Amino acid sequence: MWTEGLFYRFTVLNLFNFLQVMEPFLTALTENIENRFPNTSSLSVFSVFSPRQILSNSSTEYGDAEMRTLAEQFPRLMESDLLSEWSSYRLRVGIPDLKLL
């Protein structure tokens, strides 16, 4: 059957090898994120992109403050462009067909 090659069986040895590779990777990733965002409150800004958050908030200004914070955190982002793109994203997420997701 064609699906035979799609499944990978985890043995204790395979799991051990997997963890040996993943542990240093996840440690380095965590350190990188912590270095990039020393103030963890700036990470919470990204929750604004959650479709559930957008759908549960009917304010036309929802997320604008978070976009301004991102523009400050990432100087390459132009605040006006970011707000424009955010407005488009917010409207697109609010389309009824996507509410079913």
- Express each pLDDT in 37-95 by its tens digit: 777 666 788 888 888 888 888 888 999 999 998 888 888 889 999 999 999 999 888 77
**Separation in Å, CA 13 to CA 22, 26, 41:** 14, 20, 39
Q: Does residue 81 sit in the same domain as residue 32?
A: no
In the chain, the number of structural domains is 2
Q: Is 62 within 8 Å of 47 (Cβ atoms)?
A: no
Q: Is 63 within 8 Å of 52 (Cβ atoms)?
A: no
Instruction: Average the pLDDT over 7-12 and give the result.
Output: 65
Query: Which pLDDT does position 97 carry in this prediction?
Result: 57
Question: Which pLDDT band, with edges at 50, 70 and 90, does 11 fall under?
Answer: confident
Q: Is 79 within 8 Å of 71 (Cβ atoms)?
A: yes
Residue 101 has pLDDT above 50, yes or no: no
Q: Is 68 within 8 Å of 50 (Cβ atoms)?
A: no
Q: Does residue 50 sit in the same domain as residue 72?
A: yes
Q: Does residue 47 sit in the same domain as residue 93?
A: yes
Q: Does residue 28 sit in the same domain as residue 56?
A: no
